[in-house]
Amino acid sequence: MSGSILRVENVKKSFGGVEALKGVSLEVGEGEIHCLAGENGCGKSTLIKIVSGFYEADTGTIELNGQRFSRLSPTEAISQGVQVIYQDFSLFPNLTVMENLSINMELMSKRKWVNYARMRRTATEAIAKIGFAADLDERVENLSVAEKQLIAICRALLYNARIIIMDEPTTALTKKEVRSLFIIIKKLQAQGIAVLFVSHKLDEVFEISERFTIFRNGMNVAAGNTDELDNKKFAYYMTGRNFSEEAYSSASISPIPTMSIRGLSSRSFYHDISFDLFGGEILGITGLLGSGRAELVQTIFGINAADSGTIEVNGKKARIRKVKDAISLGIGYVPSDRITEGLFLPQSIGRNMVVSGLTRLSNAAGFLRKDKIDEEIKSWITELAIVTDDYEKEVKTLSGGNQQKVVLARWLANDLKVLILNGPTVGVDIGSKYDIHGLLRDLASKGLSIIIISDDLPELLECCNRIIVMRDGGIVKELNAPETNEAQLSEITTGIA
Ligand SMILES: Nc1ncnc2c1ncn2[C@@H]1O[C@H](COP(=O)(O)OP(=O)(O)OP(=O)(O)O)[C@@H](O)[C@H]1O
Ligand SMILES: [Mg+2]
C-alpha cells in the first residue's frame, strides 16, 4: 500500500447499553476501493459516522492523511477530504440540481450576494468531473434515485474529496444503475480518490473492491485482498455460520387453492392474469421494471383496483376494494420500501410489531392487555432473532435487516392466509436473509400461502416451489423452481439469451 488515507485504530463506541463498536480497526490506502462488509447491526454506519466527525468515538484514534485525531469534528473531517454519501443523499428535493451542487459552497464563501453565474460554473465543473450529463435546472425531486446519488457524488467532489464513503449505495438501484455506479467509482479511483464502499452483497464486493474489511458484532473478523475471498469464506466471516440452503420442499402443499385469480386486468399495468395459489405454497413472481408485477400484487392487497377479472379466496369470490378488505380476508403485504411504507419510525419497536393485532390483544371491554402485549413482543423478538436490548426504543434505532423483521412480525401476529412480500430481503445481510428464508419456509409448511416478488433470482429458486415470470403486463411463463436454473430464469425474465 502506498500511503494510507484513512486509519482507524481500536475504536469503541457505545450507545447507552449497546456496544456498537468494541474496538475496531480499518485501513484504506490512497486511491483504493475498499469494501466494508458485515451483517445488519455490526456497526458499519456507526464507524462511518465516527470517521465523518458526526459521532465521537469513546476510545481509539482516527488517522486521516497521516494526521491523528482522537476527537474529530465534522469540519476537520471535511477539510481532510472525507465525504460521505448517505442513503438519503441529504439533498434538497425542491431545489434545482445547480442549487443543490453549489449552495453550500456559495454560503461558505461568505460573500454578500448569491452569484448565479458563479453557482452555475461550480455546478458545471462538478458534473463534468464524472462525465454526468445532468440538466442543471431540473428540480432534484424529479430525478431517479440513481441520478440523485450521482448529484450527491458530484457535490462531494466539490469539497476536494480524498475518500468518498458510500453507505450501502446499491440498495435502491437497478442492476443497470449499479453497473453505471461502478463505472463512476472507477473514474473516481482514476482521479486518485479512495472509495470506502459499504455492502453486504458478495457479488458487489468481488466486482468492485480491491481490499475488504469485515465486521461482526462490533468487532473485526477479517481483512485482506478481495481476490483471496470466496463465497464460502465470505458467508462464514459475515455470520460465523456455515450455510447450506435447501430448496423448498413442496411436500406440504395442499391441492386446494387458497387464492384463485382469473382474467385479472388493470389499465395498461397488467392484463388477463390467471393463476392459483395453493395452501403451503411459496410462489415467486418476477419480471423486469414495467412488467406489472408490483401493480398486480397491489391489486390483491386492495391498493389499486382491477378493471376486470376475479379473485377468489378460500373458494369464495372476494371483493377487494380497499386494504381493509384484503386484511379482513387474511391477506398481508410487506412492501419493498420498509422505511417509508412499512414502519412507523418514531414509534417503538414493540408497538410497531403489535399495531395490527391490537384488537386481539384487548380484553372484552376493549382495554389493551399490557401483559399479553409484552409477552407477544418478546416471543417475536426471540423467534425472529431481532437484535435489540430494549423493545421500547424507537424502531428507527434498529439496523435495516432488523427493521425488516419487525415488519414481518407485525403481519405474522395476525391470523394470515396469504402473505405477499415485495423484495423480502432487499438490503438485508446474508445471515438475516437466511433466517428470513427459513422463517418463510417454516410458515409455508404450517399452511400459509406466500407470494414473493423478487429480482433476486437465486432467492426465488431457493425459496419457491413455483415461479411466474411477467413481461409487459402478462404472464410469459410458469416454472417449476426445482427444475429451473438461474441462467434459464434470467433468459426468460429479460427475454435475452
Ligand atoms: N443512535 C443510536 N442509538 C442507539 N443504538 C444505536 C444508535 N445507532 C446505532 N445503534 C446500534 O448500534 C448497532 C450498530 O448499528 P449500525 O447502524 O452501525 O449497524 P450497520 O452495520 O450499519 O447495520 P445495517 O447493515 O443494518 O445498516 C446496532 O445494534 C444499532 O441498533
Ligand atoms: Mg448501516
Query: Counting atoms of ligand 1 from 1, which one is nearest the CA of 402?
Result: 26
Q: For the chain, give the number of residues.
A: 497
Query: Counting atoms of ligand 1 from 1, which one is nearest the CA of 39?
Result: 25
Q: How far is the CA of 210 from the centre of ligand 2 (A)?
A: 21
The confidence score (pLDDT) of residue 21 equals 97
CB 18 less than 6 A from any atom of ligand 1 = yes
250-494 has the same fold as 4-239: yes
Instruction: Give the CA radius of gyration of the chain.
Output: 24
Q: Going by CA atoms, what residue is nearest to atom 19 of ligand 1?
A: 41
What's the distance, Cα to Cα, between the start and end of the chain in Å? Answer: 42
Q: How far is the CA of 161 from the centre of ligand 2 (A)?
A: 21
Quick: pLDDT tens for 305-319.
999 999 999 999 999
- What's CA 263's distance to the chain center, in Å? 33
Q: How far is the CA of 247 from the centre of ligand 2 (A)?
A: 30
Compute the distance between CA of residue 256 and CA of residue 278 in angstroms, rounded to an integer: 6
| Mutate-to-test residue for ligand 1 from 8, 11, 18, 170, highest number of ligand atoms within 8 A of CB | 18
482 or 103, higher pLDDT:
482
Q: How far is the CA of 443 from the centre of ligand 1 (A)?
A: 29
Quick: pLDDT tens for 178-234.
998 999 999 999 999 999 999 878 888 889 999 999 999 999 999 999 999 887 788
Asked if 127 and 134 touch (Cβ cutoff 8 Å), the reply is yes
Domain ranges of the chain: 4-239, 250-494
Say if residue 358's pLDDT is above 60.
no
Residue that the C-alpha cell 384484503 belongs to: 326
Quick: pLDDT tens for 365-414.
656 667 777 888 888 888 777 888 888 888 878 877 778 788 778 777 67
Query: Counting atoms of ligand 1 from 1, which one is nearest the CA of 48?
Result: 18
Q: Which listed ligand is nearest to 391 at the C-alpha? A: 1
The domain defined by 250-494 carries CATH number 3.30.1950.10: no
Q: Going by CA atoms, what residue is nearest to atom 20 of ligand 1?
A: 41
Tell me the Ramachandran region of residue 225: left when phi exceeds 0, alpha when psi lies from -120 to 50, beta otherwise: beta
Quick: pLDDT tens for 271-318.
999 999 999 999 999 998 889 999 999 999 998 999 999 999 999 999
Q: How far is the CA of 327 from the centre of ligand 1 (A)?
A: 32
Tell me the Ramachandran region of residue 445: left when phi exceeds 0, alpha when psi lies from -120 to 50, beta otherwise: alpha
Q: Going by CA atoms, what residue is nearest to atom 7 of ligand 1?
A: 397
1 or 323, higher pLDDT:
323
356 DSSP 8-state letter: G
What is the mean pLDDT of the segment spanning 15-44? 93
Nearest of 279, 288, 271 to residue 330 by alpha carbon: 279
The sign of the CA dihedral 485, 235, 182, 218 is positive
Q: Which helix H or strand E contains 83, and what residues bound it?
A: strand 82-85
| Mutate-to-test residue for ligand 1 from 15, 19, 36, highest number of ligand atoms within 8 A of CB | 15
- pTM of the predicted model over 0.85: no
Q: What percent of the chain has pLDDT over 70?
A: 92
Query: Counting atoms of ligand 1 from 1, which one is nearest the CA of 387?
Result: 29
Query: Counting atoms of ligand 1 from 1, which one is nearest the CA of 429?
Result: 25
Q: How far is the CA of 52 from the centre of ligand 2 (A)?
A: 14
Quick: pLDDT tens for 116-152.
888 888 889 888 888 888 899 999 989 988 899 999 9
Beta bridge partners of 270: 266
Say if residue 1's pLDDT is above 50.
no
Say if residue 444's pLDDT is above 70.
yes
Say if residue 328's pLDDT is above 90.
no
Query: Ligand 2 (ion): which residues have CB within 5 A?
Result: 45
Q: How far is the CA of 84 from the centre of ligand 1 (A)?
A: 17
Specify the CATH architecture of the domain 4-239: 3-Layer(aba) Sandwich (3.40)
Q: Going by CA atoms, what residue is nearest to atom 1 of ligand 1?
A: 397
